[in-house]
Amino acid sequence: MEDHGSAALRSLLEVLPDTVLETHARLGDATACVDPTRILTVLRHLRDEPGLEFDMLMDLCAVDFLGSEPRFEVVYHLYSLAHKHRVRIKARVPEAAPEIDSAVSLYPGANWMEREVFDLYGVRFTDHPDLRRLLLYEEFEGHPLRKDYAKEKRQPLVGPGN
């Protein structure tokens, strides 16, 4: 695997070579696919290593690759305020057990983003302090951004009188 000239990927490959499954830097975005069970190790390394210091978790989202296994991909976009560089970390989780460790202990800002991913994709984040739906209501059935959720699907009415 190559580091594509990115300091973050180089450091990951040197220090935690067994966690990285794949790297690329297409379109200038340094990207590493990592082992989902080691995601916190990877994020902690990226956050604390001098010279990298990815102190902001800019974005956390998921992508549903229906038909391929593992099905869900959780995507982290990190930004370093000191060095002004970015890296994208991806971890694939299987459909049967869509679970990954929560990053809230490292980045408190992950709280709402993880709730949103749980809400819309049904990926569970273990050790999340408050894993509730964020955008939708409690009675909503299913996870709407999954590819097998039809756009036209209607939800049952909830509330008093129904």
Q: Using CA atoms, how far apart are residues 21 and 149, in angstroms rounded to an integer?
A: 30
Question: What count of other Cβ atoms lies within 10 Å of the Cβ of residue 64?
Answer: 21
Q: What is the β-pairing status of strands 99-101 and 124-126?
A: parallel
Binding another protein (rule: CB under 8 A), the pick from 35, 49, 55, 95 is: 55
Binding positions for another protein, 62-101, rule CB under 8 A: 63-64, 75, 77, 79, 81, 84, 86, 88
15 vs 137, beta carbon nearer another protein? 137
Look at the alpha carbons of 17, 125, 74, 47 in this order and tell me if their dihedral is positive or negative.
negative
User: Which residue matches tokens 């990954």?
Assistant: 100
- 7 interacts with another protein by CB under 8 A: no
Q: Does 31 bind another protein (CB under 8 A)?
A: yes
Q: How many CB atoms lie within 10 A of CB 8?
A: 27
Query: Which chain residues interact with another protein by CB under 8 A?
Result: 26-27, 29, 31, 55-59, 61, 63-64, 75, 77, 79, 81, 84, 86, 88, 107-109, 111-113, 116, 120, 133-137, 144-145, 149, 151
